[in-house]
């Protein structure tokens, strides 16, 4: 079974700083997708970024980028020039391509951006 681990329950940085959120996962699959979701206080789940395992190039979306290390099964999220609106819970998630396409989440990291 796939598992996703986020080892940082809470993080706090100053506005405009860069912050990196960690995520590791365990799987025997070779092809899969990884995601970072954001859950602001409204509790609406919002996709931040996705990564396809067979692509070596790290995904980027504006201020958000990932460091995908397939051999190490690591998928960290870097937020550059952090903004107050980035304050939220961040979840790392895994979905395999073959077989049962269930989306498995980590426990989340509560990120606070301070003014």
Q: Which residues bind another protein (CB under 8 A)?
A: 6, 33, 35, 37, 43-45, 47, 50, 52, 91, 93, 95, 97, 100-108, 110
**DSSP secondary structure of the chain:** --EEE---SEEEEETT--EEE--EEE-S-SSEEEEEEEE-TT---EEEEEEETT--SPPEETTEEEEEETTTTEEEEEE-S--GGG-EEEEEEEEESSS---EEE---EEEEEE-
Least gap, CB of 91 to another protein (angstroms): 6
Query: Closer to another protein at the Cβ: 16 or 91?
Result: 91
Query: Closer to another protein at the Cβ: 64 or 105?
Result: 105
Least gap, CB of 100 to another protein (angstroms): 7
């Amino acid at each position: 079974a796939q598992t996703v681990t986020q080892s940082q329950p809470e993080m706090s940085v100053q506005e405009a700083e860069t912050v990196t959120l960690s995520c590791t996962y365990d799987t025997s699959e070779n092809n899969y997708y990884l995601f970072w979701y954001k859950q602001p206080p409204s509790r609406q789940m919002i996709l931040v970024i996705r990564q396809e395992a067979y692509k070596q190039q790290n995904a980027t979306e504006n201020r958000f980028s990932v460091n995908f290390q397939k051999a190490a099964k690591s998928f960290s999220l870097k937020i550059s020039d952090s903004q107050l609106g980035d304050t939220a819970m961040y979840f790392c998630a895994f979905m395999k391509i073959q077989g049962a396409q269930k989306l498995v989440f980590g426990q989340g990291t509560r990120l606070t951006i301070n003014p």
